[in-house]
């Protein structure tokens, strides 16, 4: 039947022109083409579209954006979620390729989400050298390849002996591929792991972005920009983690966190996420999730014997011990002054050291940048080539033995012991640095790195009016417009990070703390330390000469 159907439609396929719209009806799919520029987007439906949208008249997934950008568009529209396990579709796509239709374009991009993401990877061989954009993809549902996959029951019942059944094999035909997924979603991560990261395959991780990553990216306001960069190959994979931080402000991120907590039997955490998020998204489904979380919490309490609830509980440490505690038994946390040149950071450093046991070292010429760069490169090597053991003949032999986290930890410990050299009895230690502008928009990523490795790291951002900064002798060899751009850019980054993380940051301006001792009080309150106004006034009365 498939052969007869194909032969009846072959004449239509051989007459295709990239300058003329066409639509080819197959038993379970429709191929609909709209002409455009030199880039062809082949867009596959996801599994939800057949269930939620009528088949007749359904637009191609992402149609409005792709046509706005002037691209040609071939939509693969599914009548049902058969995971493209259809001989008619396979024959039609192969014939289109054999007739040279794809060869008429400078660039061919296969894309889709979930079921469509699988298809984008699996069908890459029909257009060798194409670009693949796979959102939350499954690599396959073939039971012997992914015996752990228990989702998509209807899809698993399809005929997986047909060609183009494994995205992990198909994606090798792409010149470049982007796999975008939530790496906290364990099944999705396992599928992504099969689509092995390499020079040709880039993994873009959106933690707690959910199985439907595109809605999260859309709420972040970056979906169109990121899609455009993937199409033209300009994605900065090292920059993407900073971009992914924007997910924290989206409804989808908070919904996923709350639901994941419920599934992992942590209803109290789910409650907390909902309680903090409902004021921001009052018309969402978060109140319904909150009800489920509270019910689950009550059920857990009912299952716990009364004798356990009222038993004397052993004393537990308020926070998990940090490795620094052994060397510095009095240490409460690490504090860092983050700024640029000529903001009065030395004065701020001295004011903070009125806190008993607080030792804030001066500048170290941005040593932490080299540590971070080395740690990133080790992680890149491990992620790219260390997923499996490489033979001795391989140029990356031994990469599977790399330990990026332990490497970074060792460098941080050496930095503390040999550069900062804090007193053993200190309660706080850290340093101030004025060269953070070297990182540009990657600043949040570096601060997160410091937050991970130091003890409960606290960042004090310090800024100053741009006119005063630009007049300083420190910047005498700079053009004023360059100083203004640097200061305004850093002030923006300071503000954004502080707004996103107010619990472990403070934001200061020189104009305030240099004239008013009370400007320091909120920082002392946040750290839980007594405010010694007399000591602060004494520091302010000393004129610095550097």
What are the pLDDT digits (tens) for 451-471?
Answer: 999 999 999 999 998 888 877
Instruction: Identify the pLDDT of residue 8.
Output: 55
Burial of residue 59 (number of CB atoms within 10 Å: 0-12, 13-18, 19+): middle
What are the pLDDT digits (tens) for 147-160?
Answer: 999 999 999 999 99
* Cα separation, 160 vs 84, whole angstroms: 10
Query: Which of 540, 539, 541, 507 lies closest to 522, judged by CA?
Result: 507
Of residues 384 and 130, more confidence is placed in 130
Strands 29-34 and 22-25: antiparallel
Instruction: Identify the pLDDT of residue 481.
Output: 86
Of residues 224 and 503, more confidence is placed in 224
Instruction: Identify the pLDDT of residue 81.
Output: 94
Instruction: Identify the pLDDT of residue 316.
Output: 37
pLDDT at 6 over 60: no
pLDDT at 313 over 80: no
Region 248-267: what's the mean pLDDT?
A: 86
* Cα separation, 278 vs 300, whole angstroms: 24
Measured between its terminal Cα atoms, the distance across the chain in Å is 87
Q: What is the pTM of this model?
A: 0.57
pLDDT at 306 over 50: no
pLDDT at 496 over 90: no
Region 7-34: what's the mean pLDDT?
A: 82
What are the pLDDT digits (tens) for 327-344?
Answer: 999 999 999 999 998 888
The pair phi, psi for residue 543, each rounded to 5°, is -85, 120
What are the percentages of helix, strand and coil residues in the chain, rounded to 5?
50, 15, 35
pLDDT at 307 over 80: no
pLDDT at 308 over 50: no
Query: Which of 36, 40, 58 lies closest to 48, judged by CA?
Result: 58
Alpha-carbon 517 to chain mean position: 40
Q: What is the DSSP letter of 46?
A: P
Region 226-248: what's the mean pLDDT?
A: 88
pLDDT at 53 over 50: yes
Determine which helix (DSSP H) or strand (DSSP E) holds 31, and give its type and residue range: strand 29-34
- Residues 275, 219, 60, CA angle at the centre, nearest 5°? 135
Instruction: Identify the pLDDT of residue 171.
Output: 97
Instruction: Identify the pLDDT of residue 298.
Output: 81
Give 187-253 as a 3 state SS string. Answer: HHHHHHHHCCCCCCEEEEECCCCCCCHHHHHHHHCCHHHHHHHHHHCCCCCCCHHHHHHHHHHCHHH
What is the average pLDDT score of the chain? Answer: 88
* Cα separation, 287 vs 290, whole angstroms: 5
Instruction: Identify the pLDDT of residue 544.
Output: 57
* Cα separation, 355 vs 220, whole angstroms: 40
């Amino acid at each position: 039947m498939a052969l007869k159907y194909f032969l009846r439609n072959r004449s239509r396929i051989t007459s295709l022109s990239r300058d003329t719209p066409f639509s080819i009806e197959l038993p379970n799919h429709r191929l609909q083409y709209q002409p455009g520029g030199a880039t062809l987007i082949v867009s596959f439906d996801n599994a939800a579209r057949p269930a939620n949208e009528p088949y007749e008249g359904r637009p191609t997934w992402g149609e409005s954006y792709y046509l706005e950008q002037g691209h040609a568009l071939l939509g693969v529209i599914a009548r049902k979620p058969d995971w493209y396990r259809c001989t008619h579709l396979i024959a039609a796509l192969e014939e289109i390729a054999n007739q040279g239709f794809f060869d008429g374009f400078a660039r061919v991009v296969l894309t889709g989400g979930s079921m469509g993401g699988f298809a984008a990877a699996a069908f890459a061989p029909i257009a060798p050298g194409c670009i693949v954009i796979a959102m939350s993809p499954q690599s396959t549902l073939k039971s012997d390849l992914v015996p752990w996959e228990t989702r998509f029951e209807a899809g698993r019942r399809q005929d997986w002996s047909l060609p183009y059944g494994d995205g992990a094999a198909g994606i090798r035909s792409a010149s470049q591929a982007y796999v975008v997924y939530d790496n906290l979603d364990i099944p999705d991560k396992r599928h992504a792991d099969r689509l092995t990261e390499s020079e040709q395959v880039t993994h873009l991780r959106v933690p707690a972005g959910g199985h439907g990553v595109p809605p999260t990216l859309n709420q972040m306001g970056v979906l169109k920009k990121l899609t455009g960069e993937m199409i033209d190959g300009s994605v900065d994979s090292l920059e993407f983690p900073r971009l992914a931080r924007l997910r924290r402000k989206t409804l989808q991120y908070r919904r996923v966190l709350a639901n994941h907590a419920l599934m992992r039997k942590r209803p109290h955490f789910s409650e907390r996420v909902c309680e903090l998020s409902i004021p921001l998204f009052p018309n969402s489904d978060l109140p319904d999730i909150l009800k489920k979380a509270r019910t689950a919490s009550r059920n857990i309490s009912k299952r716990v014997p009364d004798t356990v609830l009222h038993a004397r509980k052993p004393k537990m440490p308020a926070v998990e011990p940090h490795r620094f505690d052994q060397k510095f038994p009095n240490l409460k946390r690490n504090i860092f002054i983050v700024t640029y040149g000529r903001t009065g950071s030395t004065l701020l450093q001295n004011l903070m050291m009125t806190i008993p046991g607080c030792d804030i070292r001066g500048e170290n010429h941005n040593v932490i940048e080299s540590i971070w760069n080395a740690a990133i490169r080790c992680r890149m090597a491990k992620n790219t080539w260390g997923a499996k053991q490489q033979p001795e003949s391989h140029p990356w032999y031994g990469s599977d033995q790399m330990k990026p986290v332990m490497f970074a930890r060792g460098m941080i410990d050496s930095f503390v012991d040999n550069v900062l050299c804090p007193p053993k009895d200190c309660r706080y230690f850290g340093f101030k640095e004025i060269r953070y502008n070297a990182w540009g928009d990657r600043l949040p990523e570096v601060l997160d790195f410091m937050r991970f490795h130091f003890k409960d790291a606290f960042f004090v951002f310090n800024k100053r009016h741009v006119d005063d900064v630009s007049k300083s002798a420190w910047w005498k060899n700079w053009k004023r417009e360059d100083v203004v751009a640097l200061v305004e850019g850093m002030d923006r980054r300071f503000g954004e990070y502080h707004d996103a993380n107010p619990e472990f940051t403070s934001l200061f301006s020189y104009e305030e703390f240099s004239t008013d001792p009370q400007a320091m009080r909120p920082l002392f309150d946040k750290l839980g330390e007594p405010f010694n106004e007399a000591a602060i006034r004494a520091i302010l009365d000393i004129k610095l000469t550097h």
